[in-house]
Amino acid sequence: MKAPFVTFEGIEGSGKTTQVGLLSEYLAGKAVPHIVTREPGGTPLADEIRGLLLARREERVFPETELLLYEAARAQHVRAVILPSLSSGKAVLADRFSDATSAYQGFSRGIDAARIEGLNAFAAGGLLPDLTLLFDIDPEDGFRRLPGRGRRADRMESETIEFHRKVREGYLRLQAASPDRIVRIDGAPPAGEVFRRVQAVVAARFGW
Ligand SMILES: Nc1ncnc2c1ncn2[C@@H]1O[C@H](COP(=O)(O)OP(=O)(O)O)[C@@H](O)[C@H]1O
Ligand SMILES: [Mg+2]
């Protein structure tokens, strides 16, 4: 049986990485086989592409270039890591996936949504998450949390608040269009409280 594929989405500072960690610990405690991975990245090549994407640079990065680099990393990640894990019975928890491309490169950068969906499907070989947890938070609140991570803002984090507002709106529209797959979770409460919501959702879906 194919194991579940769960993705974590939301703007910067919404709590994705924190919640992936909490769910992984929880699953380990219940001896549920799983891996944790992230996009862009997840394989040595895809991690190199991540470095290219997130580096702050003088040269302008065009939206089309950015889109294709994300998709290239995804193509590698899906085939080398995600599919083999799922077919060996290990669940996959992914910190971002295709919805991030729709929200950032589509809604926020303005690339046509149908084109992005086509590229997402091509890169992912048609793979869709069984469940997507969308951590929803006001961008100003999300950004206030970021200095706590103790590193300088990357190229995407350095975008304007307006850019991130559009990303948030894009995510909410994706959720409205796929309400069964994408579950919105309020990201504003303390992490433990957010996690209780995550637990309730994965218990109902997968019996975890
Ligand atoms: N619910 C929460 N309330 C307050 N701070 C949080 C919460 N969740 C995460 N944090 C902190 O906010 C920062 C960003 O969280 P993180 O999980 O890295 O978000 P993301 O991966 O979505 O950018 C981290 O320093 C983290 O410890
Ligand atoms: Mg993160």
- Residue 1: pLDDT band by 50, 70, 90 thresholds? low
**CA 66 to centroid of ligand 1, rounded, Å:** 25
> Strand 91-95's sheet: what is its strand order?
34-38, 91-95, 5-9, 131-136, 182-186
Q: Among the bound ligands, name the one nearest to the CA of residue 139.
A: 1
| Whole-structure pTM value | 0.97
Task: Name the residue ranges covered by the structural domains of the chain.
Answer: 5-206
Predicted local confidence at residue 147, as pLDDT:
83
Q: Can you tell me the distance from the alpha carbon of 156 to that of 163, in angstroms, rounded to the nearest whole number?
A: 10
Ligand 1, residue 18: give the atom nearest the CA: 17
pLDDT at 165: 97
Q: State pLDDT tens for residues 192-208.
A: 999 999 999 999 999 99
Short-list 130, 77, 125, 134, CA closest to 100: 134
Q: Write down the pLDDT at residue 41.
A: 98
Cα(58) to centroid of ligand 2, in Å?
24
- The atom number, within ligand 1, closest to the CA of 10 reads 22
- For residue range 51-108, list pLDDT tens digits in order: 999 999 999 999 999 999 999 999 999 999 999 999 999 999 999 999 999 999 999 9
Share the mean pLDDT of the chain: 96
Q: Coil, strand, or helix at residue 87?
A: helix
Tell me: the pLDDT tens digits for 179-193?
Answer: 999 999 999 999 999
| Nearest CA, atom 1, ligand 1 | 191
Interval 40-49 mean pLDDT: 98
* Alpha carbon of 118 to ligand 1 centroid (Å): 32
pLDDT (tens digit per residue) in 130-144? 999 999 999 999 999
Share of the chain above pLDDT 70, in %: 100
Q: Among the CATH numbers 3.40.50.410, 3.40.50.2000, 3.40.462.10, 3.40.50.300, which is that of 5-206?
A: 3.40.50.300
pLDDT of residue 149: 80
